[in-house]
């Protein structure tokens, strides 16, 4: 097994993808809108990935946060709110905000499990600030660390009850970045003492099954390398100060914050201490180069992957009742 999660080019596996994936044996797959048409089509696609791997616990990821980040949507699936909706409710009634976040995530989990998706890249534990880039501010749970942690925990619990693994992101915190790492490499100049606020939600949820790095330079820890490529940030901050021992994946390796070829970036991330690399764009030449450059997945990383995939409950709950509960609570805001 190679320590990489690959994207797919379309709504069905192509013959080339089928042959390549069977040989490379990636650690998982990630889905986007280009892979989605209907419930029936998506279930066939995810079943084909399980058949290819010969096992049921394949990591099949999606970014289904709600709001602007949603791969499944109308008319086939309902819309879901993003983090700020729960932040607004928490401001008025904290326990209601937490319960609404849990019900929302539980419903999300049921919806994803129905079509064979096993991992959702949620919750964001980034602590927003007045000048946080809109790419994060429009998705975050708020500006107070323990509020973010409380709603993040509820989201992880809801996803687990729906049968889906959650991913905490973007470690060790994207809230101070003033640029969007999809397009630029942000640099955070805050002191290590100031960054304690950013670490707090991740530390509170240090037992999460999966986590995702940020492509950000933190001068206080490593002024030369972004977190994804920094053994200092990964080993001393994420594994050490945060205490996270789950499966650590990169954010999309193709984001413009990182420089070099996809294979170079993937190799650098694994060498720095990430367990797996996330490569989203399904470009066959790049996937082949990444697979050729990477070693087999490390035994400890495979243990973390297996532990994460067995950490969820059997999907249970009433989707309509959960949506109704969430909406009733959000109406209080």
Our answer to whether residue 182 is catalytic in this structure is: yes
Give the DSSP H or E segment for 138: none
pLDDT (average), residues 108-114: 98
Kindly indicate the confidence band of residue 74, based on its pLDDT and cuts at 50, 70 and 90: very high
Q: How big is the chain, counted in residues?
A: 333
Computed over every residue of the chain, the mean pLDDT equals 96
Q: How far apart are CA 65 and CA 40, in angstroms?
A: 22
Kindly indicate the confidence band of residue 305, based on its pLDDT and cuts at 50, 70 and 90: very high
Q: What confidence tens digit (pLDDT) does each residue in 180-226 have?
A: 778 778 999 999 999 999 999 999 999 999 999 999 999 999 999 99
Helix, strand, coil distribution of the chain in percent, nearest 5 = 45, 15, 40
Of these residues, 126, 197, 222, 251, which one is catalytic? 251
Q: Whole-prediction pTM value? A: 0.97
Our answer to whether residue 170 is catalytic in this structure is: no
Q: Which tokens is 27 given? A: 């650690």
Looking at the predicted structure, is the pLDDT value of residue 179 above 80? no
Q: Enumerate the β-bridge partners of residue 61.
A: 30, 119
């Amino acid at each position: 097994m190679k320590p990489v999660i690959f994207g797919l080019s379309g709504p069905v596996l192509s013959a080339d993808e089928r042959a390549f994936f069977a040989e490379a044996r990636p650690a998982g797959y990630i889905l986007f809108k280009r892979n989605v048409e209907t419930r029936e089509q998506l279930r066939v696609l995810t079943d084909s990935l399980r058949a290819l791997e010969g096992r049921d616990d394949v990591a099949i990821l999606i970014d289904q946060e709600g709001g602007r980040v949603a791969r499944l949507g109308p008319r086939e699936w309902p819309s879901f709110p993003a983090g700020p909706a729960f932040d607004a409710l928490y401001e008025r009634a904290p326990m209601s905000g937490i319960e609404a976040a849990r019900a929302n995530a539980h419903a999300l989990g049921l919806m994803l499990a129905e079509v064979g998706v096993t991992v959702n890249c949620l919750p964001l534990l980034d602590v927003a600030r007045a000048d946080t880039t809109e790419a994060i501010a429009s998705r975050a749970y708020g500006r107070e660390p323990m509020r973010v942690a409380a709603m993040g925990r509820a989201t992880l619990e809801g996803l687990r009850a729906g049968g889906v693994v959650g991913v905490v992101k973007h470690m060790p915190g994207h809230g101070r970045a003033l640029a969007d790492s999809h397009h630029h490499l942000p640099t955070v100049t805050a002191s290590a003492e100031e960054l304690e606020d950013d670490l707090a939600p991740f530390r509170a949820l240090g037992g999460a099954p999966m986590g995702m790095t940020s492509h950000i330079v933190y001068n206080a820890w490593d002024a030369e390398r972004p977190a994804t490529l920094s053994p200092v940030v990964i080993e001393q901050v994420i594994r050490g100060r945060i205490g996270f021992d789950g499966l650590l994946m990169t954010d999309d390796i193709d984001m413009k914050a990182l420089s070099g070829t996809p294979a170079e970036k993937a190799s650098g991330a694994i060498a720095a201490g990430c367990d797996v690399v996330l490569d989203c764009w399904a470009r066959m030449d790049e996937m082949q180069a990444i697979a050729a450059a990477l070693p087999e997945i490390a035994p400890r990383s495979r243990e973390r992957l297996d532990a994460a995939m067995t950490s969820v409950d059997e999907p249970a709950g009433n989707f309509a009742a959960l949506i109704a509960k969430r909406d009733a609570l959000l109406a209080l805001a």
